[in-house]
Amino acid sequence: MTLPQLFFLYFAVSMTGLSLLVVTRRNPVHSVLWMLVLFLHIAALYLFLNAEFLAAIQIIVYAGAILVLFLFVIMLLNLRREETERMFQDQWPVGAGIGVVLAVFFVVIVGKIAVLAPLGEYSIDAVQAEGHIMSIGKVLYTKFLLPFEIASLILLVAIIGAVVLAKKRI
Amino acid sequence: MVPLSWYILLSAVMFCIGIFGFLARRNLIIIFISIELMLNSVNISLVAFSHYLQSLRGQVLVFFIITVAAAEAAIGLAILIAYYKNNPTIKVDEINLLKG
Amino acid sequence: MSVSAMLLVFIKTILVVSVFLIHVMYVQYFERKVIGHMQSRMGPMRVGWHGLLQPIADSIKLFFKEDIIPSAADRPIFYIAPIIGVIAGVSSVAVIPLWENFSIANLNVGILYILALSSIASYSVILGGWASNSKYSFLGGLRSSAQVISYEIAMGLSLVGVMMMAGSANLNDIVKAQANGWFIVPQIIAFVVFFISALAETNRVPFDLPEAETELVSGFATEYSGMRWALFFMAEYAGMFVMSGLAATCFLGGWSGPQIPFMGTMSGLIWFLMKLYMFIFIYFWIRATLPRYRYDQLMGLGWKIFIPLALLNIVITGLVKIL
């Protein structure tokens, strides 16, 4: 087994374990913390795949903004009472069953995945020569200009929605 | 060299754990976190595909997914707080009234 | 990467981190002296010549103090919270170029790396406040989370102008791009926004609301004692060094400066440290001069003035670059 494969194996095992920890913690704050560790692992995996800009964005946006927002809301709501009650809904076996069936389904079809030609123009060397930020910026501002603008509109809607919802009286 | 299918397998397993959390937990905040978990597992597979197909399309999609996730978290948590003000519970099986 | 190259990086890291920690230890002496003289006092005088051994005495005292843990605290998180801050602060130093072509890691996303680590560092304050299970700590933690999220946006946006001028997010390239003039002149708006946001980001006066002594006892650190409290303290000063280093690198040309005779490449390090300590002196100067902000004023300043200013700066920089 080569060194990259060993690295990947570590990431696979620990990320699966961390995901399980995230969904099974009783205290939401602990859940969020395991999620933080999981995000750091995901960012490292992105670095492994030569996506350094996405790794930085993953930590700045997900860990730095979204998870802090979650923590903020958990702390704002007083949840001490909820911690003593049962964690799962009555129909949790159905959820577990759907999860397992989907997992088996994925495992069966994943073996058939193969990389076929034609490959794109952004090979690792090409991206490294130009810089990852520059190449992703070029694609984002030329081919994907319209979706990019729509994304900004989504953010605007989210800002207005959050402000309206946070008002005292709706 | 790590085969592409390993990444997809990891992503699929994480996605299924996210689905389990989404369907089984009672706490609304953990349900939100499970959604983030599913989005992240999809991101992993997209970045892996983009790396192996040598195209940046997958990474641009990840960029948009992160944008939508941020918007979703902001709106979802705002709705949660607005609901909590009227009815102080965040258990999904206790949130069963249409009129708030 | 060969074994010898890895060993070299390892030695570099150990050297830089230990020198950095000595600086962090002694900057506290510097602060007490500066503030003392600004208030017509002498500052620490007893331990050693003019109190020079004071930081060592303080560290020995803190190290041997009892480590008290509140009975209702969330123990694992209480243990881990201060460590997150120190690690985030110290590892930020890795990408800052200290002299010509020397930084531990020459990352292409250097600026984003520092922003990411500073957002991780905010967790230490929030979690420390939450895990202590005390009202003062909790309020301090909540204040800090809101403050850090708000000001991080302004700080990131102000650095976008610098990245646009240099055409790179690599800090080495940014220093080289300032060969024909420091960015503080064309990016003066960004500089003002960055510096004030950095004050808020590191929880310094006048934005030290998370640990406002007069209202919250000691904010998030109320329940901490001994070595763990010292770690919070170290994290704050490490953050101050990183922000000053980033300001010196992005706006004042980092290690660039006229060659100092007989110093060789070390002249770059001397210039860098001079710029860095100028910023640190300004931090202390502000602490001795300004009163604390009110919380609503702080949030208003961040969202209504700094973020629009930073966006305006990006637009102006873009227009100038096109023309």
Three-state SS string over chain A comes to CCHHHHHHHHHHHHHHHHHHHHHHCCCHHHHHHHHHHHHHHHHHHHHHCCCHHHHHHHHHHHHHHHHHHHHHHHHHCCCCHHHHCCCECCCHHHHHHHHHHHHHHHHHHHCCCCCCCCCCCCCHHHHHHHCHHHHHHHHHHHCCHHHHHHHHHHHHHHHHHHHHHCCCCC
Chain-chain contact of B33 with A28 (C-beta, under 8 angstroms)? yes
| Residue in A with minimal Cα distance to B71 | A158
Average pLDDT, chain A: 86
Three-state DSSP at B27 gives strand
Residue B90 per-residue DSSP state:
-
Is A75–C138 a contact, with Cβ atoms under 8 angstroms apart?
yes
What confidence category does residue A82 fall into, taking pLDDT thresholds of 50, 70 and 90? Answer: low
Q: Find out whether A127 and B43 touch, Cβ atoms under 8 Å.
A: no
Task: Please tell me which of the candidates B25, B53, B71 has its beta carbon nearest to residue A88.
Answer: B25
Say which range, C86-95, C136-145, C165-174, has the weakest mean pLDDT: C136-145
Tell me the residues of C at the A interface, defined by beta carbons under 8 Å apart.
74, 77, 107-109, 112-113, 115-116, 119-120, 122-123, 126-127, 130, 138, 141-142, 145-146, 148-149, 152, 156, 168-169
Interface mutation target, options C3, C83, C112, chain A, most CBs of A under 10 Å: C112
Residues 13-32 of A with CB under 8 A from C: 27, 29-30
Residue A119: band (very low, low, confident or very high) from pLDDT cuts 50, 70, 90: confident
Name chain A contacts of C152, Cβ cutoff 8 Å.
Answer: 64
User: What integer best gives the mean pLDDT of chain C?
Assistant: 86
CB spacing of B14 vs A19 below 8 angstroms: yes
Could you tell me the CA-to-CA distances from B44 to A57, A77, B6, B8 in Å, in that order? Answer: 14, 32, 11, 8
pLDDT band at C121 (very low <50, low <70, confident <90, very high): confident
Q: Give the best residue of B1, B15, B31, B33 to mutate against chain A (max A CB count within 10 A).
A: B33
Residue-level pLDDT at A170: 55
Are B39 and B69 contacting, i.e. CB atoms less than 8 angstroms apart?
yes
pLDDT given for residue A91 in this prediction: 82
CB-CB under 8 Å, A75 with C142: yes
Nearest chain A Cα distance for residue C100, angstroms: 21
pLDDT band at A87 (very low <50, low <70, confident <90, very high): confident
Choose among B14, B69, B74: nearest Cβ to A15: B14
Average pLDDT for C233-260: 88
% residues pLDDT > 90 (chain C): 24
DSSP structural state of residue C48: S
**Residue C115 pLDDT more than 70?**
yes
Chain A environment of C168 (Cβ under 8 Å): 131
Q: Measured between CB atoms, which of A28, A73, A110 is closest to B5?
A: A110
State the pLDDT at residue A43.
Answer: 92
Structural domains of chain A sorted by starting position, each given as residue range(s) with its CATH number in brackets: 1-83 (1.20.120.1200)
pLDDT over 70 percentage in chain C = 97
Place of tokens 């609503």: C296
A154 and B36: CB-CB below 8 Å? no
Mean pLDDT of A94-122: 83
| C-beta atoms of C149 and A69 within 8 A | yes
Q: Which 3 state secondary structure label does DSSP give C138?
A: helix
Contacts of C311 (CB under 8 A, 6+ apart): C157
Which residues of C are less than 8 Å from A69 in CB distance? 149
Torsion angle of the four alpha carbons C33, C34, C40, C44, in this order, in degrees rounded to the nearest 10: -10
Residues 6 or more apart in contact with residue A38 via CB below 8 angstroms = A15, A18, A19, A22, B37, B40
Q: What is the least distance, in Å, from the CA of A65 to any CA of chain B?
A: 8
**What are C274-306's pLDDT values in tens digits?**
999 999 999 999 988 888 888 888 888 888 999
- Greatest Cα-to-Cα distance within chain C, rounded to the nearest angstrom: 64
- Token output for C183: 């960015």
Neighbours of chain C (3+ CB pairs under 8 A): A
Q: What is the mean pLDDT of residues C9-26?
A: 90
Q: Which of A42, A59, A67, A163 to mutate to test the interface with C (most CBs of C within 10 A)?
A: A59
Note whether B touches A: 3 CB pairs or more under 8 A: yes
Whole-number Å distance between alpha carbons of C170 and C154: 20
Q: Does B14 touch chain A (CB under 8 A)?
A: yes
Whether A117 shows a pLDDT value over 80: the answer reads no
Which of B2, B27, B59 has its CB closest to that of A54?
B59
Question: pLDDT at position C247, please?
Answer: 92
| C306-317 residue pLDDT tens | 999 999 999 999
Segment A121-132 shows an average pLDDT of 80
C275 by Cβ neighbours in 10 Å (0-12 / 13-18 / 19+) ranks as buried
Which chain A residues are Cβ-neighbours of C116 within 8 angstroms?
A: 56, 59-60, 63-64
pLDDT at residue C212, as a whole number: 64
- Give the minimum alpha-carbon distance from A110 to chain C in angstroms, rounded to a whole number: 33
Chain A positions in Cβ-Cβ contact with residue C112 (cut-off 8 Å): 53, 56-57, 60
Mean pLDDT, rounded, for C65-88:
87
Per-residue model confidence (pLDDT) at position B99:
61
Orientation of helix C188-201 relative to helix C135-166, angle to 10°: 160
This complex has an ipTM of 0.91
| Residues of chain B under the 50 pLDDT cut | 100
Sequence-ordered list of residues with C-beta below 8 angstroms from that of C122, at least 6 positions apart, any chain: A64, A68, C144, C145, C148, C149, C152
Q: What is the mean pLDDT of residues A36-62?
A: 90
Smallest CA–CA distance, residue C259 to chain A, in Å, is 32
pLDDT of amino acid B38: 93
